[in-house]
Amino acid sequence: MSAETFPLSTQTCEHRTAAALREAERAGQRGGFVRLREEAALSQARAVDRQRAEGVHARRLQGAPLAHKDMFFRAGELSECGSRILAGHRASHTATVLRRLDAAGAIDLGALHMAEFAMSPTGFNAHLGHGRNAWSDAHVSGGSSSGSGIAVALGLVAGALASDTGGSVRIPAAVNGVTGMKPTQHAISMQGVMPLSPSLDCVGVLARTAQDAASMLQAIWDADATDPHCLATGTRDFERSIERPLTRDDIIAVPAFDDGAPVSDEVRAAVLRVADALASCGATIRKVEMPDLREAGALATLVLGAEAASIHAKWLRECRGGYGEQVLRRLERGLLYPATRYVDALRLRARSMAQFVERHLGGAHALLLPALPYAVPTIEETLEGDAGEIERRFGDFSYWTRGINYLGLPGMSVPAGKSGNGMPVGVQLIGRAWSEDVLLRLAHQLQRRTGWHLPSILSHPRAV
């Protein structure tokens, strides 16, 4: 982790971890936590101190305090996935990504708030209560990785794992003012992670900076024989690649926003502000046709609905009453999708991705898009109207992210200042498949030039 986020200290790792646990306990769910691993985390910290005393070479994440969305399984420990259905569930095995972070020397402080079974883009949870934005109790935290965005933004952890099926890394990163990376589809092992829609699910990372995101991604990136769908081969040196300055050969595509684009004036201004900053870093900005993500988003919704209904079919039969109303309605709708429509959606996927890349990336290295269509809403605003209106609003909220999962492309959310309501604004960098190094480098160089990722939440009234 960078010294900015995780400063070096003469204190023992055990002392620092104990202090971090106290802060997390004091914050409670307002800090994004649903459960702490006090003894286990202190045990990890003592092991780090022993290794340091024995002269063992420091590992990249050694002693870094992390916490993760409550859907990453660890053998013998609770993992409830924000649900009543899995209340009291203890995993029989440990997720590959957790084992890799352990091996890198990170300290796992505990489990973070999430939407029930990862099925809300706003952070709503009928059982745990709403996620509360790091900057305002009245505003949404983003979802479904609500706690990951909150805890990172409040500085309670240096980073967090999350999942992204339709925007669940990028949305909470954007609305809480932190950095979030969703990698290429199937790049990171999903072994030991609760699935929602295996064709769309991705493990991603949230951190304060692109540099820290690079460190975390590097630690979890590799092939995994226990996950046959994981396509990564070998490790990647993201930490080194991000340091190369931008030049005119680095081409960023920026859409020519038209009147029909689902984006507010202030979010559009944020995208153009980031484009100007990247140009000042040395990159070339190229205008491209405005992407229409409605079809990709609709196909993503179909795939997610069918696959989630299949995964939950047994529970829907045996313990239907354990679901929250919103999640139950979405799951049961998935049971009604014809198999032919689901197969067609998967069949069209590769062609859709190729057409999108050719049309909107062309010779560019990344496409700059909004992360959200409008400023961060209040919780009350997202609950107005009947059930149909609320669901339509959910769809609008994830318009810019959901289709990217269907296309299987990597996406990265980065802070881009504040909106008129004082809440963070985030934008996305979208790349070709396997271009995580490009996106991380663009984000890192942007953050070296600007201060949008730096405002201290600790001086804000919301700080815990």
Task: State the catalytic residues.
Answer: 69, 144, 168
Is residue 37 a contact partner of residue 108, using CB atoms and an 8 Å limit?
Answer: yes
Give the closest residue to 5 by CA, choosing from 148, 113, 152, 149. Answer: 152
Place of tokens 């919780």: 379
In Å, what is the CA distance from 56 to each residue of 59, 105, 183, 312, 451? 9, 12, 32, 46, 36
Cα separation of 304 and 291, whole Å?
22
* Neighbouring C-alpha atoms within 13 Å toward the C-beta of 283: 30
Place of tokens 């997202």: 382
Cα separation of 331 and 87, whole Å?
19
Buried b (16+ CB within 10 A) or exposed e, 372-386: bbbbbbbbeebeeee
Beta-sheet pairing, 33-36 with 202-207: unpaired
DSSP 400-462: HHHHHHHHT--EEEEEEEE-TTS-EEEEEEE-STT-HHHHHHHHHHHHHH--TT---GGGSTT
What tokens does 196 get? 């929602």
Spatial CB neighbours of 262, under 8 Å, sequence gap ≥ 6:
373, 396, 399, 400
Cα separation of 140 and 377, whole Å?
6
DSSP 112-125: E---GGG--SS---
What tokens does 68 get? 């993760």
Cα separation of 426 and 349, whole Å?
27
Please tell me whether the peptide bond between 352 and the residue prior to it is cis, using omega within 30 degrees of 0: no
Q: How far is CA 307 from the centre of its chain?
A: 21
Cα separation of 355 and 434, whole Å?
17
Is residue 195 a contact partner of residue 311, using CB atoms and an 8 Å limit?
Answer: yes
